[in-house]
């Protein structure tokens, strides 16, 4: 989603990060979409190693659903968006929470024991605990629908992703 970033505001004034995706199937009121690989990705020096554009398998893994309120059909290209604030919160949940737990646990144990092996074990335990908390937080975000992209408009024929 975010590799195709450009900006748009929803009716409530929140900034959305946009991306172009193609409808691959329809199922009882929902549409399954596959994000398009950016032209910028194809020119990247890491293209051969990058899982984001590494064949159909990785694109399938990145498919997502949206509510089909706009009579979408298979093969249509649409512009979808996710709130910038939600994207930032998702980054915090995925990375900052586990890392924060790991760092705090390590510092506390190191100040108490001053032993590298014990501190290393505490870091692993802290990371595991942080991942559990992250899982809980991500579940709450998903339940609220914060992580689900929204339909913005149909993509124009020449409209491509805006990575660069």
Partner 1 sequence: MQQYMLLMVGAALVNNVVLVRFLGLCSFMGVTTKVDTAVGMGMATTFVLTVSSVLTWALETFLLVPTGLGYLRTVTFILVIAAVVQFTEMVVKKISPSLFQTLGIYLPLITTNCSVLGIPLLNVEHHHNFMQSMLYGFASALGFSLILAVFAGLRERIALCDVPRLFAGPPIGFITASLLALAFMGFSGISAN
104 binds partner 1 (CB under 8 A): no
Are 35 and 73 spatial neighbours (Cβ–Cβ below 8 Å)?
no
Minimum separation from the CB atom of position 71 to partner 1 (A): 24
Contact 80, 149 (CB under 8 A): yes
Q: Does 52 bind partner 1 (CB under 8 A)?
A: yes
Interface stretch with partner 1, choices 23-31, 67-75, 101-109, 152-160 (CB under 8 A): 101-109
- Rounded to an integer, what distance in angstroms lies between the CA atom of residue 106 and that of residue 104? 5
Q: Write the binding mask 107 to 136 for partner 1: x where contact by CB under 8 A, - elsewhere.
A: x--xx----x--xx--x---x---x--xx-
User: Least CB distance from residue 10 to partner 1, whole Å?
Assistant: 15
Q: Does 22 bind partner 1 (CB under 8 A)?
A: no
Distance CA 126, CA 16 (A): 34
The upper half-sphere exposure of residue 149, i.e. CA atoms within 13 Å in the direction of its Cβ, equals 26
Residues touching partner 1, count (CB under 8 A)? 52
Exactly one of 94, 104, 125, 160 binds partner 1 (CB under 8 A); which one? Answer: 94
Q: What are the residue ranges of helices labelled H in 77-115?
A: 84-91, 97-113
Tokens 């994000």 found at:
35
User: Which residues have C-beta within 8 Å of that of residue 85, sequence separation ≥ 6?
Assistant: 14, 15
Give the residues lining the site for partner 1 (CB under 8 A).
1-3, 5, 17, 44-46, 49-52, 54, 61-64, 82, 84, 87-88, 90-96, 98-99, 102-103, 106-107, 110-111, 116, 119-120, 123, 127, 131, 134-135, 138-139, 141-142, 147-148, 163-164
């Amino acid at each position: 989603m975010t590799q195709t970033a450009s900006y748009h505001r929803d009716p409530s004034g929140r900034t959305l990060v946009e991306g172009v995706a193609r409808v691959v199937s329809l199922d009882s009121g929902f549409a399954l979409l596959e994000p398009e690989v950016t032209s910028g990705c194809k020119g990247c020096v890491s293209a051969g190693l990058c899982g984001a554009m590494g064949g159909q398998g990785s694109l399938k893994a990145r498919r997502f659903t949206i509510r089909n309120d706009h009579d979408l059909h298979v093969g249509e290209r649409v512009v979808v968006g996710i709130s910038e604030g939600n994207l930032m919160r998702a980054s915090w949940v995925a990375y900052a929470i586990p890392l924060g737990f790991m760092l705090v646990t390590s510092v506390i144990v190191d100040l108490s024991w001053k032993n590298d092996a014990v501190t290393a074990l505490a870091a692993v335990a802290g990371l595991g605990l942080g991942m559990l908390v992250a899982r809980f937080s991500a579940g709450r975000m998903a339940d609220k629908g914060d992580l689900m992209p929204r339909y913005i408009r149909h993509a124009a024929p020449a409209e491509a992703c805006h990575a660069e």
